[in-house]
Chain A
């Protein structure tokens, strides 16, 4: 062993703790980036929103106890049910599950941190600001009031003139930024930072679920972002995407919304399935039965969920053939779901079950409720039955069985199961059992009866009803059930507070489970793993024998010689060690970036010019955010020439076997950018699909009176943009050969050429005789060009920053991944606008 090997574990612990410590104090609160800090913040904040939305539900139930009550005014009621749905979906379920993944995925895959810690923190601040803003809107009487799916034309300016709907539109778009960055974060972490030897085929099921969920977010969320962006434009600048009188179509909203909305249901459901798939084997003292089938089921659900959105739209008047297709697709869900259930039953069947503890109680109840929600799901997939029960309380009952039974129950199971790891203490078992029975009984009293209420004809979303329709007694009982659920939640809160301080202490492993998160102390040290585990056994065991022959790289990572936060990098499928990354330290910039974006998004409700201002400030913050990293504590770096980020000096030290520079598809940064571009690409494809949808539904497209378009100018601008990628790419090649001067020349040439695009766009649109507010055709044209323009401007700004950094000597072959990422974005901007151009000016297509 080398001299560094002389450091014992205690000294290493001391050193790593210091490097990884979240910054102290009030200021530190705003700069912390550690995944467990951020993950816990996500969960706590989302849980507070859960309590708030739960109280709203109680208010809703109280109003409906008896016919014609006046507990809530119609305005207050409509705001309450809208907020209940929106908050539960957007502010509780998704952020909580993402928080759970952010906290536990690195622990389960043997990583010290997520791939992009600052992005992680940024996502949290966005979530917090958006959530608080929605809360403030509610307090001031401006809560959204048109339901969580916000259908136009009710939500157009004409029928909802107030700021209420503006808040929904702006904040949902904004919130999805948070969901999307967290998703990219989770994907890249799972792809690139698994412990060496932890192949995809050995991933714990929860990690698989988090991974598939995150992928679904990447492809589903853009639909709601696009839809709410269009609605925002309709409301704020007078476009006509959803206005049928001017070539738009209100049904376009429904297609886009449910293209997101249905995957969204499974985005919330899958993490629960993953959690239960880990809890049951832990208590049955055996591995999960049918692991491969369970994972395949998760993947199939993820894929299927994108093909069933129309089952929310059976009553809009579509053709019967189409409806039956979607009915068949919807019923298919029963198969992967049944496979999951059978795998849990089989696991128990051949297992040895300790006395039932709360995580198991909630898991078993989840299975039963999931079955009940599943069978009503099959029923309402049947087109004619759906025609009757659609938008009645039957549907309310159904989706609460899936959303409470299928999401909240497994979440409670997960909280009881993993709370000991987070807090170091068990949740109280006696209170837990009370919580369980109150919640279970209350839930069924409330929602089982609602099936009947719906069959008796009560529509949903009514603030009151007349007596004598047979709904009175059922509603009174449902309210009683809701109060019992509230009591159960109260017991849970007491349990959380009491157990956090005085609960029974727990060792490393609370339940005798087999996964990696139970291999370190509870709560885990700041750095998670002193020795990064390797070649775990097939059951992903925390195999003590794996420490027997510590390889050099393990030692190197344990010693953290650079004084920076380091994470191992492994290959995507086989998890072969490729090196390490040096992660950024705590920073206030994510906070400020989120602030600037809040200004942009919220400000636009009152002053449209705040949007560019906020975006500009955000750009400045992002530049600050990406300043080159500095070691926290250079002096503490033992036996190494220096801590700096410069790889040249480290290469001479000789002992650092792990490379910290990764190019191409080995680089986590590049994967991050690839997924960001995939999100953008999804927006782009959905945008084109939306345009074709409007075009096919229109009598004439473009409408009469649209004069000549500036085809020549548009084509020239596009050619310049395409051409700009060539010198940029040559520059990139030069950089990988460490020819910095050539790189800078190539980059500059590319940027100058690219600048021709916005210049010509301004000329082109200045000369157009149709506007965005004259017809949906104009809306589409302007918005598409605006989209391309925005990306090219961002490209030029980002490229400019790279150029300046290069001039200052920060560009060299060891840091090529950043420039490659820029190049990926460049290609997207150039090809994306080309794609739009073909749609906007079909005359340019060669086959026309």
Chain B
């Protein structure tokens, strides 16, 4: 078992998949709100750093002083009776006064930053609903009527409101470069956060509340595009025709149905939701996504085939079962899935 996993891990590393999609760092903000938090961090680092250096220097000097006192009077026994009042005053001054002044300033700065970043400065240009699942993200654009997974495409230039909840356990939504921190996704509740990308690019996010066996590989990609590119993507996405276009794709869909994929996955206009809420990601634009398994693998036909045969090899604990099937079936299925959402966007 362990040996198999280790082998799988090395396969991943050596095959060069799982390449980096975007950054995920607090110290590289790409938007005003996380940048404000980043300055809060630097200010607090310098402020508390100086204060604690002061205290440590005091401690060091006290040790040196006390050693000298002992060296000068080696046999004097106990130190002379201390001046209690003076000592208490010193302790209160440096122990209560100094930190109190610093804390008041820091608290004010923190409250101000909080008020600044908690809500978007302008009306949102887009609303996205994100639903956490073990261990992937359902992404819905309620006003546009489309659903996708693990990748959120947003326009640059304006705030995007994000409504989050969960279909199972508690997850947490976090795209550190674009959002003022993270927000928990709690079943039965809807929480809100916002994102804002000033420059186009790919930004990484990850689930930050332990959500079970495969919490580690539950990642998220935000793709920010200029508004016109975003609109073009949206138009194309809305126009996706997922119906099989040729015999090979027909066969692929047949395999899809035969292996019961439709009980968890939706393909718009082809197979409707089997349950009220899909147990697996919607596949209508499957071929146009950049990664598989919530950023675990790059989305190419080879990886897709490997994923279908044995997803656990790449992402142990994932809810999708393994599917052993003849090569021709697999190839037809991959052809069909890889085309989904892609034909509408030539050049990708």
Q: Of the 9-residue stretches B70-78, B140-148, B260-268, B271-279, which lies at the interface with chain A?
A: B70-78
Q: Of the 9-residue stretches B87-95, B225-233, B250-258, B281-289, which lies at the interface with chain A?
A: B87-95
Contacts of B19 in A (CB 8 A): 468
**Is B199 located at the chain interface by the 8 A CB criterion?**
no
- Say yes or no: A153 contacts B48, CB within 8 Å: no
Nearest-Cβ distance from residue A326 to partner chain B, whole angstroms:
12
Contacts of B2 in A (CB 8 A): 70, 73
Closest residue to A75 on the B side, CB-wise? B213
- Say yes or no: B168 contacts A351, CB within 8 Å: no
- Say yes or no: B96 contacts A339, CB within 8 Å: yes
Within 8 A of B (CB), among A145-188: 146-147, 151, 153-154, 159
Q: Of the 9-residue stretches A41-49, A301-309, A387-395, which lies at the interface with chain B?
A: A387-395
Q: Of the 9-residue stretches A313-321, A654-662, A817-825, which lies at the interface with chain B?
A: A313-321
- Say yes or no: B207 contacts A289, CB within 8 Å: no
Contacts of A78 in B (CB 8 A): 213
Within 8 A of A (CB), among B53-84: 55-56, 58-59, 61-63, 65-67, 69-70, 73, 76-79, 82, 84
**Is A628 located at the chain interface by the 8 A CB criterion?**
no
**Is A429 located at the chain interface by the 8 A CB criterion?**
no
**Is B345 located at the chain interface by the 8 A CB criterion?**
no
Fill in one digit per residue for A369-388: 1 if any B CB lies within 8 Å of its CB, else 0.
00110110011011111111
Give bound CA distance, A251 to B63, whole Å.
48
Q: Which of B90, B92, B111, B186 contacts A251 (CB 8 A)?
A: B186
**Is A474 located at the chain interface by the 8 A CB criterion?**
no
**Contacts between chains A and B (CB distance < 8 A), count:** 300
Contacts of B183 in A (CB 8 A): 315, 317, 387
Nearest-Cβ distance from residue A293 to partner chain B, whole angstroms:
6
- Say yes or no: B9 contacts A286, CB within 8 Å: no
Give bound CA distance, A455 to B38, whole Å.
10
Nearest-Cβ distance from residue B310 to partner chain A, whole angstroms:
15
Known contacts A68-B13, A338-B98, A469-B20; decide if A462 and B215 are in contact (CB<8 Å): yes
Closest residue to B115 on the A side, CB-wise? A320
Give bound CA distance, A334 to B106, whole Å.
12
Fill in one digit per residue for A61-86: 1 if any B CB lies within 8 Å of its CB, else 0.
00000011110011100100000000
Closest residue to B118 on the A side, CB-wise? A320
Taking residues whose C-beta sits less than 8 angstroms from the other chain, chain B's interface range is 35 or more
Closest residue to A391 on the B side, CB-wise? B208
Within 8 A of A (CB), among B178-218: 180-184, 186-189, 191-192, 204, 206-217
Known contacts A335-B100, A375-B48, A386-B181; decide if A293 and B95 are in contact (CB<8 Å): yes
Closest residue to A377 on the B side, CB-wise? B48
Q: Which of A381, A388, A391 contacts B37 (CB 8 A)?
A: A388
Contacts of A334 in B (CB 8 A): 99, 103
Q: Which of B23, B191, B216 contacts A464 (CB 8 A)?
A: B216
Within 8 A of A (CB), among B238-252: none
- Say yes or no: B9 contacts A70, CB within 8 Å: yes
Nearest-Cβ distance from residue B49 to partner chain A, whole angstroms:
7
Known contacts A154-B169, A455-B27; decide if A327 and B56 are in contact (CB<8 Å): no
Contacts of B208 in A (CB 8 A): 390-392, 459-460
- Say yes or no: A385 contacts B25, CB within 8 Å: no
Give bound CA distance, A344 to B41, whole Å.
29
**Is A352 located at the chain interface by the 8 A CB criterion?**
yes
Known contacts A317-B183, A317-B186, A354-B70; decide if A290 and B26 are in contact (CB<8 Å): no
- Say yes or no: A341 contacts B79, CB within 8 Å: no
Give bound CA distance, A245 to B63, whole Å.
61
Give bound CA distance, A467 to B18, whole Å.
8
Give bound CA distance, A547 to B69, whole Å.
34
- Say yes or no: B96 contacts A364, CB within 8 Å: no
Give bound CA distance, A706 to B346, whole Å.
60
Nearest-Cβ distance from residue B316 to partner chain A, whole angstroms:
5
Contacts of A387 in B (CB 8 A): 37, 180-183
Closest residue to B182 on the A side, CB-wise? A315
**Is A346 located at the chain interface by the 8 A CB criterion?**
yes
Nearest-Cβ distance from residue B192 to partner chain A, whole angstroms:
8
**Is B280 located at the chain interface by the 8 A CB criterion?**
no
Q: Which of B20, B181, B207, B211 contacts A384 (CB 8 A)?
A: B181
**Is A428 located at the chain interface by the 8 A CB criterion?**
no
Q: Which of A245, A344, A384, A388 contacts B188 (CB 8 A)?
A: A245
Q: Which of B87, B99, B118 contacts A289 (CB 8 A)?
A: B87
Pairs A–B under 8 Å by Cβ, sample size 14: A70-B3, A73-B316, A338-B55, A339-B92, A346-B91, A348-B59, A352-B73, A372-B52, A375-B51, A375-B52, A384-B40, A384-B180, A466-B20, A469-B23
Instruction: Given contacts A70-B7, A74-B213, A151-B209, list 18 more A-B pairs with CB under 8 A.
Output: A69-B9, A245-B188, A286-B82, A289-B84, A293-B88, A315-B172, A317-B183, A317-B184, A320-B114, A339-B95, A340-B95, A345-B55, A391-B209, A455-B26, A456-B25, A457-B26, A457-B204, A464-B9
Q: Which residues of chain B have a CB within 8 Å of any CB of chain A?
A: 1-3, 5-10, 12-13, 18-20, 23-27, 34, 36-37, 40-41, 44-45, 48-49, 51-52, 55-56, 58-59, 61-63, 65-67, 69-70, 73, 76-79, 82, 84, 87-88, 90-92, 94-96, 98-100, 103, 106-107, 109-111, 113-115, 117-118, 134, 168-170, 172, 174, 176, 180-184, 186-189, 191-192, 204, 206-217, 219, 295-296, 316-317
